[in-house]
Each structure stands twice: as C-alpha cells, then as structure tokens.
C-alpha cells in the first residue's frame, strides 16, 4: 500500500514510516516489560510510562490511518 500512496501523498508515507519505526521500538520495550512482569521481575516506572506511551501513540496512529490513509487508498 505504501508505494502506491507515495505517488499521491509522500508526506503521509514519510509520517507513517516514521511512526511504524517508533511503534516497533516502543512495542519491543513493552513486550520486554510484560515478559519481566510475567516472570515476577519488577519493572521501573519509566518502563511502565513507555508502555502507556506506546498505547496512546499507537491509538493516534491507527486513527490517522483510518482518517487519512484509508481514504487515499480508495
């Protein structure tokens, strides 16, 4: 989808790519924290804030895809 969108709106594709990279990093940290919690290991407050940030930012990303990307893809 992204290569086709690039012809219509390169700025949107750049934003999506940057957000995908950011979300991958935040998701990896969140998964590590969750695994630590399951294993009975304490996690630091910063790690919990990172998980909350991931959830908030990913919801915003999905909303952007629904309102901007899906109409472009049609």
Asked whether the predicted pLDDT for residue 30 surpasses 80, the reply is yes
Token reading at 69: 């990307």
pLDDT at residue number 8: 79
Does residue 37 contact residue 43 with C-beta atoms inside 8 Å? yes
pLDDT (tens digit, 9 = 90+) per residue, 40-60? 998 888 888 888 999 999 999
What pTM, to 2 d.p., does this model score? 0.73
Task: Give dist(CA 74, CA 60) in Å, integer.
Answer: 21
Instruction: Tell me if residue 44 falls in helix, strand or coil.
Output: coil
């Amino acid at each position: 989808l992204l290569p086709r969108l690039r012809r219509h709106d390169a700025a949107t594709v750049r934003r999506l790519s940057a957000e995908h990279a950011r979300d991958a990093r935040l998701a990896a940290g969140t998964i590590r924290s969750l695994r630590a919690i399951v294993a009975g290991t304490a996690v630091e407050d910063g790690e919990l804030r990172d998980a909350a940030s991931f959830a908030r930012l990913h919801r915003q990303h999905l909303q952007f895809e629904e309102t901007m990307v899906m109409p472009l893809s049609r």
